């Protein structure tokens, strides 16, 4: 039985999820929560090795192979890190998880979403996040940010691909409104962080006296 809490941060490239994951972890640590931060693809020795292949600009990977590599990374991360942490009462904060595969491989690549849902369920052993923060940035703004730091293989895809990915995230938010909470990354980093924390505090039922 789950004892901890599982939070994912997701969104199109350049949405600021890495920055916000760090800030959220810091805030929760200050409230004495035991935090584990991780990311997809990656988070374990095996998955980080595959990450380098998946994101290297010169890697040539077919859509199906790409899908299966992401699912393999997810299976390893879930089994090795996420489930043990949750079962020991920790709060897990993960940059991207199964939603990203629906958005990128389902909508972006046009692969069968029903098959992806089934593969996600196998890779995660049925685990779903308790809360997903979806940073809803415009494709144009997100790509500008991503390109400024250097493009990886997926960021090198054309505008139409990224537009489809954005549509995928919007579709997911509409399909799972109880789990996925949309945050517009407008304002300062601190203002965005505060909005995210307020959502997390409500979902985790963090009482005012603890704040």
Query: What CATH code is assigned to 5-204?
Result: 3.40.50.300
Q: pLDDT tens digits, residue range 57-111?
A: 787 899 999 999 999 999 999 999 999 999 999 999 999 999 999 999 999 999 9
Backbone angles phi, psi at 29, to 5 degrees: -65, -35
Q: What is the mean pLDDT of the segment spanning 143-157?
A: 63
Could you tell me the pLDDT band of residue 138, with boundaries at 50, 70 and 90?
Answer: confident
Closest CA to 65 of 153, 129, 142: 153
- Over residues 10-39, the pLDDT tens digits come to 998 878 899 999 999 999 999 999 999 999
Q: How far apart are CA 134 and CA 22, in angstroms?
A: 15
**Does residue 191 register a pLDDT over 60?**
yes
pTM of the prediction? Answer: 0.91
């Amino acid at each position: 039985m789950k004892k901890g809490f599982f939070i994912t941060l997701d969104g199109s490239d350049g949405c600021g999820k890495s920055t916000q994951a760090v800030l959220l972890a810091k805030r929760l640590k200050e409230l004495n929560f035991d935090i584990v931060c991780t990311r997809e693809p990656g988070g374990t020795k095996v998955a980080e090795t595959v990450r380098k292949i998946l994101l290297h600009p010169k890697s040539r990977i077919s859509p199906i192979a790409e899908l299966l590599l992401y699912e393999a990374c997810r299976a390893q991360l879930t089994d090795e890190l996420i489930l043990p942490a949750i079962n020991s009462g920790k709060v897990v904060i993960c940059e991207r998880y199964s939603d990203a595969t629906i958005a990128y491989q389902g909508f972006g690549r046009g692969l069968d979403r029903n098959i992806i849902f089934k593969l996600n369920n196998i890779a995660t052993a049925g685990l779903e996040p308790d809360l997903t923060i979806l940073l809803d940035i415009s494709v144009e703004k997100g790509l500008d940010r991503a390109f400024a730091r250097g493009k990886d293989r997926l960021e090198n895809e054309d505008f139409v691909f990224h537009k489809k990915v954005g549509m995928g995230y919007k579709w997911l938010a509409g399909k799972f409104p109880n789990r996925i909470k949309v945050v517009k990354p407008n304002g300062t980093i601190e203002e965005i962080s505060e909005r995210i924390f307020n959502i997390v505090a409500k979902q985790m039922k963090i009482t005012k006296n603890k704040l």
